[in-house]
Structure 1
Amino acid sequence: MSTSETFSFRIADRLAGVDSSPVRDLLEVVSKEGVISFAGGVPDPDYFEVEDVRAAYAWVFENQPQRALQYASSEGEPELREQAARRISRDLPTTADQIQVTTGSQEGLFVVAQALVNPGDTILVERPTYLAAVQAFDLNGAHMVGVPTDEHGVLPDELERLIGEHHPKFVYLIPSFQNPAGICMSMERRRAVADVLLRTGTALVEDDPYGELAYAGDPMPPIASLPGMSAQTILLNSVSKIIAPGVRVGWMRSEGPIQFTLTVAKQAIGLQSPVPDQLAVARYLETADVEAHLQRVRPVYAERARAMHAELERVLPAGAQITRPDGGMFLWVRLGHGIDTTRLLQIAVEEGVAFVPGTSFYAHDPDESTMRLSFVTHGPDVIREGVDRLRRAIGRYLSERD
């Protein structure tokens, strides 16, 4: 037997025993041929502004090819930092030197964890919350505690109680069209949450990738923009939802000494984000009509959200609970009836439809009857067919169980 067949690396304790990844498993489900996938938050590629993106990259290589291919600063390219600051400044005055560029907001979450979390530190998160945030924080040794939510977001009284009980390193929230539940925090709730955080002196990590996908009215301002909150908030954003997810560019806004720490953590993880992408995104944001693009996709996704909600109401068992999002990419279902959606998924894929079981979105004590579905990828006819396949899968599950 060769050495390569017998040698075993000694894996770090934080990864010992890990034999799956919710993100990897999700991407695998998305790619299965013949399966209608409601699993990933995958924008419909028919609505990518391909020509605008192509023009931005072409401009970079026509005008700054050597710079685009060279090493650069870890903080990010000045043009992109300026564009990011300009976008955030619509709600919160921001300068370019308050921006740290990241390779998508997912890297930003890992940078934050590296910069702030010691093993055993407590982080408060929504119940449920974004599964890749749970993964990033868990890999850095955090102890996560879920804060109960309702249709308006985290409950302020529960947030204050858990802050007093656990003294968390920070609170992680997705206030606008939350992943996975699709709920959006009202302004009244945002102010109440800010009041709790300010009175208790608790740091906030605010994740805002979906805020601009509001289907009715103007996007909500971030909690970071409320009086007194900017200094104790790290605000994350990305271009995945306003350009395309394949362009892995995001940024973080912060103030004070934490900015240097975030940059050091970024250097250790990836040195710099790809310069061609940064320059192209900066050019795109400067020259393309981003608002026109958003105005084009918002009504399309709004129609699909309504279609999925209506179809699910038609076929799900009595008593099932479905969120009704008015923005973002996801809705959340609680089936009840003792249904385990992890087991249900196996049958659903056999029937030709996929979703994400809800257990991965909980920091602890998951509700196993929950699931996340994305409505943005497919039109109403495909949504109808996919939900009908889900109906058949649930019927098979219940009959086999009984």
Structure 2
Amino acid sequence: MSHHKLAASVQGLQSSAIRELLKQSKMAGVISLGGGIPDPTLFDREGLQMAADAVLSTYSGEAFQYGLSEGYPALREAIAQLCLGRGIEGQPDDVVITSGSQQSLDILARALINPGDTVVVERPTYLAALQVFGLAQARFESVGTDGDGMRVDELEALVAEKTIKAVYIVPTFGNPGGVTLSDERRKKLVALSKRYDFVIIEDDPYSELSYTDEVFRPLLAHAKAIGNEQNVVYTSTFSKILAPGTRVGWLIVPEWLKRAVVNLKQTTDLHTSMLSQLMTCEYLKTGRLPGQIALIREAYRHKYALFAQALEAELGDVLTFHKPKGGMFLWARFNNGLNTTRWLEKTLSNGVVYVPGEFFYCSEPDCSTLRVSFVTATDDELQEAVRRLKVSL
């Protein structure tokens, strides 16, 4: 064996449990509640075709050429306007285009984390964030969550005792827990960041996917209100509101961090695909995105309501779950101590797959939890999936 030839940092790197489950979900007859994959029937094929035609007829030279590491200027301007609609005031120069928000996290980990630095995450948290910060050799601390998101009081007790480098959080319709950080806690979190001088990495892929008209101000907006914007980095993506295959995400970074981020972007892939950037930019020019978001929101709200009702009817005596206000995920827990990692073998034999909850913890996992995504399956498949889960008990 040649394991000794591998870098120490990657020797313990595990494949994503979710990516592995995606392979099983493609088996004939299997209904997948696993990956957080947008419903492909909702992709705006007509609008994307219009955007592609416009690029190929007008910008073919640029589309197939190298581009700026920071990103295509017109797209950065359009994203600054999009963020303004979310409550974030900024300039196009504050925006750095990335190849999806996963690259954003990778770049931030490289830019911010020294081996042994402490990163605080929610319990549970996004699996791929654990992977990327783990690769940077961060130490993890975790704080609990409840119906109002991260327990910021737990964080306050932690930072009073221990120096931390960063807090990573998905504050709105989080993955995997589906919880949303309350406004009161958002203000307290950015105040703690100012007081103890740690960085907040705000990951926001889902905030447009709301089931209600309630508006949640980004942490970056709250931070600007108290003069702490230098400690908040915001990342988002077009993956959940347009198409994940384009691999277009973005970062909004403070001035002190920008040069490092751009240099790392250069060393990683030079720049995000110009074809994808120009297509995204042309799509935004069509004015179709708000209607597309409204379509996705309504479809996901409907699927969530149908799925939650079926779960409560069939499994409500043994399963409890958080009722999200938006997003793509439902986080559930068995009250009978059932181990969901072991149970997966049985549900897979009955043709349904989900993600066991233990993979979303940096330590001391709750093995009676699971994450289900309801957005890709059809209405009939969702109801059938619940029936298959019930017969697997």
For Structure 1 versus Structure 2, the TM-score category normalised by the shorter chain is: over 0.9
1:51 is matched with which residue?
Answer: 46
Q: How does 1:146-295 map to 2 (within 5 A)?
A: 146-226=142-222, 227=225, 228-295=227-294
Q: Encode CA deviations 1:26-49: one digit per residue, 9 max, x unaligned.
A: 332332221100101112111110
With 367-376 and 189-198 compared, the bigger mean Cα shift is at 189-198
Amino acid at match of 2:323: R
Deviation at 1:20, TM superposition (A): 3.5
Question: Structure 1 residues 375, 247: closer, same or farther in 2, change over 3 A?
Answer: same
1:390 is matched with which residue?
Answer: 389
1:127 is matched with which residue?
Answer: 123
With 77-86 and 334-343 compared, the bigger mean Cα shift is at 334-343
Q: Encode CA deviations 1:361-401: one digit per residue, 9 max, x unaligned.
A: 111111011100001112332111001111112x2xxxxxx
Q: Encode CA deviations 1:100-143: one digit per residue, 9 max, x unaligned.
A: 11000011011100111111111001110100111111111011
With 352-361 and 298-307 compared, the bigger mean Cα shift is at 298-307
Please give the secondary structure, in 2, of the residue aligned with 1:94: coil
Give the gaps of 5 or more residues in structure 1. 1-5, 396-402
- Does the 8 Å contact 1:29/1:39 carry over to 2? no
Amino acid at match of 1:162: L
TM-score for the superposition, normalised by structure 1: 0.93
1:66 is matched with which residue?
Answer: 61
Please tell me whether residue 31 in structure 1 is matched to residue 30 in structure 2. no
Please give the secondary structure, in 1, of the residue aligned with 2:345: helix
Deviation at 1:319, TM superposition (A): 4.9
- Does the 8 Å contact 1:39/1:372 carry over to 2? yes
Please give the secondary structure, in 2, of the residue aligned with 1:162: helix
Please tell me whether residue 41 in structure 1 is matched to residue 36 in structure 2. yes
Please tell me whether residue 79 in structure 1 is matched to residue 78 in structure 2. no
- Mapped partners of 1:347, 1:166: distance in 2: 43
1:108 is matched with which residue?
Answer: 104
With 312-321 and 125-134 compared, the bigger mean Cα shift is at 312-321
- Mapped partners of 1:34, 1:319: distance in 2: 26
TM-score for the superposition, normalised by structure 2: 0.95
1:361 is matched with which residue?
Answer: 360
- Does the 8 Å contact 1:111/1:265 carry over to 2? yes
Q: Encode CA deviations 1:254-286: one digit per residue, 9 max, x unaligned.
A: 121201111111112211110000011011112
Amino acid at match of 2:62: R
Deviation at 1:8, TM superposition (A): 6.2
- Mapped partners of 1:18, 1:211: distance in 2: 30
Deviation at 1:298, TM superposition (A): 1.3
Q: How does 1:296-311 map to 2 (within 5 A)?
A: 296-311=295-310
- Does the 8 Å contact 2:18/2:35 carry over to 1? no
Amino acid at match of 2:327: G
Deviation at 1:19, TM superposition (A): 5.3
Question: Structure 1 residues 219, 104: closer, same or farther in 2, change over 3 A?
Answer: farther
Amino acid at match of 1:50: R
Q: Encode CA deviations 1:303-354: one digit per residue, 9 max, x unaligned.
A: 1111111221223263532011120000101113222111111111110001
- Mapped partners of 1:310, 1:261: distance in 2: 48
Please give the secondary structure, in 2, of the residue aligned with 1:123: strand
Please give the secondary structure, in 2, of the residue aligned with 1:257: helix
- Does the 8 Å contact 1:176/1:184 carry over to 2? yes
Question: Structure 1 residues 378, 23: closer, same or farther in 2, change over 3 A?
Answer: closer
- Mapped partners of 1:256, 1:133: distance in 2: 24
With 250-259 and 192-201 compared, the bigger mean Cα shift is at 192-201
Percent of residue pairs bearing the same amino acid type: 38
Question: Structure 1 residues 328, 289: closer, same or farther in 2, change over 3 A?
Answer: same
1:399 is matched with which residue?
Answer: none
Please give the secondary structure, in 2, of the residue aligned with 1:325: coil
Please give the secondary structure, in 1, of the residue aligned with 2:330: strand
- Does the 8 Å contact 1:212/1:219 carry over to 2? no
Amino acid at match of 2:36: G
Amino acid at match of 1:52: G
- Does the 8 Å contact 1:23/1:132 carry over to 2? no
Give the gaps of 5 or more residues in structure 2. none
- Mapped partners of 1:87, 1:105: distance in 2: 16
Please give the secondary structure, in 1, of the residue aligned with 2:297: helix
Amino acid at match of 1:288: G
- Mapped partners of 1:217, 1:173: distance in 2: 22
- Mapped partners of 1:209, 1:233: distance in 2: 16
Please give the secondary structure, in 1, of the residue aligned with 2:245: coil
